[in-house]
Amino acid sequence: MPLCFPYVRFSSQKQADGNSVVRQSERIESFVTRYSLTVDTRLEDHGISSFRGANAKKGQLSGFLQRVRDGEIPHGSYLLIENWDRLSRQVLDASIEIFSDLIRSGIKIAVLDEDTVYDDLTSNSFIRAIVQFERAHSESLRKSDMSKASWRAKHKAMAEGAIATEKCPQWLVVKDGAWCKRDDICLHIEAMFSLAQTYGMAETGRRLNAQFGTSYKTHQIQYLLRNRRLIGEHSPVELSKEHGKNVPTGQVVEDYYPQVIPPATFEEVQTILKSRKPFSGRQDATNLNIFRNLLVCAECGGSTRFMLKSGKEYYYCTASMTGGCVDDQIRSIRGEFLRRVLFKFEHWTAIRDYIAAGSDVLKALKKEETVAVAKLTRLEAKADGLMNKFAAEDDEDKAETYVSLLTETRKGIATANADIDRIKHELASLDGAFALNDSNVDSFESMLTSDSEQARTDRQRLNRYLRGIFLNIELHFPTRKLVTQPIPALANRISPVVAYVQQPKDKRTGDDYGHHTWISKDQQALILKRIKARLRRAGIPSPTFQQVKPIYDDVVLSLLPKRKPRTQCKSKPRLVELPIELDGVIWEASDPFLK
């Protein structure tokens, strides 16, 4: 039985809510039954127009056309369409090209409205296609012009103060032909502007959410604080053929919406925002943030923010600043300890391996580029010689041979050019990023902390070098674990670096049990006390730091909040470094350590 591919398309939500899909489906089922066809794949493009050929460039029809070109669809298969304009409403030559390509590829086109199957390019079928495609395009053009005229009329009505559409900002609704404020949202916005005059974006979000029990994110607050519709302004938009989306017309209709924020307050906040430059990505003057555009939170995948507070440096999970990470805790880490972690001891050795590997790749690519350019030069010279011989040759057989050789040579030139482009692309991601190979730890220690102009410049260069090596650096704030991810060009040549950020040790004991935001200092002390007591009962009278530490880590991590998990929670971590003295001792759940 022949295969068939039913194609259902509609371009608006109104058609989706109506009977467009049902009508097309019923006709398809009737045709399939009558001709005893086997449905292979049902193609559906929802909300995609055929006027500018969007359905032939993206969506399921596009995929079907590509499969036809690749020879994956058997000859004699059917494409079922309700009518001609389901296939295309483009200008005539583009529509005819789609129709002709399908027929030449052995695909039969069944137009269900006509109950007709087109399987050849006879004059009758060709003329019929021309007439129908021209009609479909003209109809779409007419509707497009009517739609533009309608929007122009609406824009004019808006300028005169009329409510032309019920689409409106989230803080307004239309009732009985008039604007009405949503008191709850307007109250949030008024409080937001009041807070923004004193606090930054993140703190404004935290205080606002705490006050009203809302969940505003930082980017939402930024959007609202800059939204001029809050002072009544409306900026009409229109569809741009060049950009393929709505763009502002440049017209501004004042006092179109009810004012929620007084213009003076709005402009005052704009001045404050400009002075703060939130989220602008501007490098701090000292260039202390060597991980700029690299460091991400391993738990939520979001960005981090570098901040200076009272002369101390901190990295924050941006999402945690407004309660948007995996729990409500603000996640931060001291910057000076994080900055140094990759450039000390075994971690610095690993970084040098990264840089050395990158340097080897760079050298190999430059050598490959030299070979490819030399090959291209030879092929171009060969092509010129063949052209000259062909032009001077009178013998047809020899001339034909030269044409064949010239064709092969030009294919070689195209391949060589493609190789050179690929190599240059890889070089662009690596070149200049590996000049640190011969540096030493001491020079880095000075460079990372010095306030000299040279040190600032070196830190900026270091950030550029790191971005040439790493795609990103993941930081797990609770455990202070840092993992590097290499750029694609180095992904198969080097392994990630895993490091742990060292915080200051306990001043009284010299032990470093770590800092955990989800337990208090009193809880930490209680856990340590209980662990040592159990170790003494297990036959270890004076437990050492090395014996207590792995048990402490296991207990504390088991208490990590599980709210808003990104993935399914795993079981409690195993004690992979359990002291030999404790081998065979069975430990209970972590709860008893806090009781």
The residue count for the chain: 595
What average pLDDT does this structure show over 168-186?
91
pLDDT of residue 151: 67
pLDDT tops 50 at residue 587: no
Do residues 557 and 481 make contact, with C-beta atoms less than 8 angstroms apart? no
Among 254-263, 366-375, 483-492, 570-579, the least confident range: 570-579
What average pLDDT does this structure show over 2-9?
86
Could you tell me which CATH number the domain at 3-144 has?
3.40.50.1390
The residue written with tokens 């400009």 in the block is 274
Read off the pLDDT band of 346 (50, 70, 90).
Answer: very low
pLDDT tops 70 at residue 552: yes
For the chain, which residues make up each domain, given as ranges? 3-144, 172-276, 283-503, 521-594
What average pLDDT does this structure show over 68-86?
86
Would you state the structure tokens that stand for residue 57, as one six-digit string? 């460039």
More confident residue, 487 or 196: 196
More confident residue, 417 or 433: 417
The fold adopted by the segment(s) 172-276 is: Hect, E3 ligase catalytic domain fold (3.90.1750)
b/e burial code for range 175-193 (CB count within 10 A of at least 16 → b):
eeeeeebeeebbebbebbb
One-letter amino acid identity for 503?
A: Q
More confident residue, 476 or 491: 476
More confident residue, 545 or 343: 545
* Dihedral sign for Cα atoms in the order 180, 186, 190, 193: negative
Q: Please state, for a pLDDT cut of 70, what percent of the chain lies above it.
A: 69
pLDDT of residue 231: 93
Do residues 550 and 579 make contact, with C-beta atoms less than 8 angstroms apart? yes
pLDDT tops 90 at residue 236: no
pLDDT of residue 48: 62
List, for residues 352-385, the tens digit of each pLDDT value. 555 555 556 666 777 788 888 888 888 888 888 8
What average pLDDT does this structure show over 191-205?
88
Q: Please state, for a pLDDT cut of 90, what percent of the chain lies above it.
A: 9
pLDDT, mean over the chain: 75
More confident residue, 391 or 409: 409
Read off the pLDDT band of 225 (50, 70, 90).
Answer: very high
pLDDT of residue 71: 86
pLDDT of residue 254: 84
Among 216-230, 409-423, 426-440, the least confident range: 426-440
DSSP for 514-554, please give it.
---TTS-HHHHHHHHHHHHHHHHHTT-SS--HHHHHHHHHH
pLDDT of residue 223: 92
Q: State the Rg of the chain over Cα.
A: 34
Read off the pLDDT band of 351 (50, 70, 90).
Answer: low
pLDDT of residue 249: 67
DSSP letter assigned to residue 303 = B
Among 196-210, 331-345, 526-540, the least confident range: 331-345
d(CA 304, CA 294): 9
Among 69-73, 131-135, 361-365, the least confident range: 361-365
More confident residue, 221 or 326: 221
Read off the pLDDT band of 177 (50, 70, 90).
Answer: confident
Among 73-82, 446-455, 586-595, the least confident range: 586-595
pLDDT of residue 57: 62
pLDDT of residue 563: 45
236 burial via Cβ count (<10 Å: 0-12, 13-18, 19+): buried
Which of 193-200's residues contact partners 24+ apart within 8 Å by CB, and which partners? 193/225, 193/261, 193/265, 193/266, 193/269, 196/221, 196/225, 196/269, 196/272, 196/273, 197/268, 197/269, 197/272, 200/276, 200/278
What average pLDDT does this structure show over 521-535?
80
What average pLDDT does this structure show over 561-565?
48
pLDDT tops 50 at residue 76: yes
- 575 - beta bridge partners? none
pLDDT tops 90 at residue 44: no
pLDDT tops 70 at residue 67: yes
Which of 34-43, 156-165, 493-502 has maximum average pLDDT?
34-43
- 178 - beta bridge partners? 175
Read off the pLDDT band of 185 (50, 70, 90).
Answer: very high
What average pLDDT does this structure show over 407-427?
84
pLDDT of residue 113: 84
Q: 3-state class of 94 per DSSP?
A: helix
